Copies of this chain bind each other. A is one copy, B any other.
Amino acid sequence: MVEENKISIAVIKRLPRYYRYLGELLANGVTRISSKELSRRMNITASQIRQDLNNFGCFGQQGYGYNVVLLYEEIKKILGLDKNYNMIICGLGNLGKALSNYYKFDRLGFNFIGLFDISQEMVGTTWNNIRVGCVSELESFLAENEVDIAVLTLPKTSACKVSQTLVNGGVKGIWNFSNVDLHIPDSVRVENVHLTDSLMVLSYGLNEG
């Protein structure tokens, strides 16, 4: 049995940044780039860039460097950005509303197909052309629609329970903005955005200069 070559999370987290820089090069009409030049721009070592990329294949050419378009498209595929994803939002508070209106996600292939909230005031209203449903309808919605990603923007009190419903409903990934650690099976991917934690990291040592 061949051991699946597990890519480290540190590498994966750097991929979007590579993708971003390559996109800029592309927009500027740059057709080739060496790991050395990219390292200068991104402020990481050329060694790391080459190591990172070679986890996924040999995209460069000795003496030449990397073809920008080709590498851009490869990373796009690696990140799964060549596919489309059905998304729902659970929790239409300020943050949920903001995310529902963020046009860029759509352009990247992440499409909102459902919005859900708990409060009766929100249910029935429309955001981004989608009617807000009640969280109680979530189970049947998941049964009828293939949902790839659920955005969890509920307060922590309800987030845990709803995450169970999402898991049972076959959601593949949860983008968790609620301030709890979800305890769900490894088969469902979780990406946390803990805003409060992030702000606390910023305030650490801020007055020491």
Chain B residues closer than 8 Å to A204, beta-carbon distance: 12, 15, 78-80
Measured in the bound complex, the distance between the Cα atoms of B13 and A194 in whole Å is: 11
Measured in the bound complex, the distance between the Cα atoms of B179 and A20 in whole Å is: 9
How many residues in A have their beta carbons less than 8 Å from beta carbons of B?
52
Assess the B200–A105 pair: CB atoms within 8 A: no
Q: Which of B20, B149, B179, B181 contacts A202 (CB 8 A)?
A: B149
CB contact list, A165-209 vs B, under 8 A: 172-173, 175, 179, 181, 187, 189, 191, 193-207, 209
Assess the B191–A201 pair: CB atoms within 8 A: yes
A85 within 8 A of B: yes
Q: A15-B204, A16-B201 are in contact. List 10 more A-B contacts (CB 8 A).
A: A13-B197, A17-B197, A81-B203, A94-B101, A95-B95, A98-B98, A108-B196, A173-B202, A189-B205, A191-B199
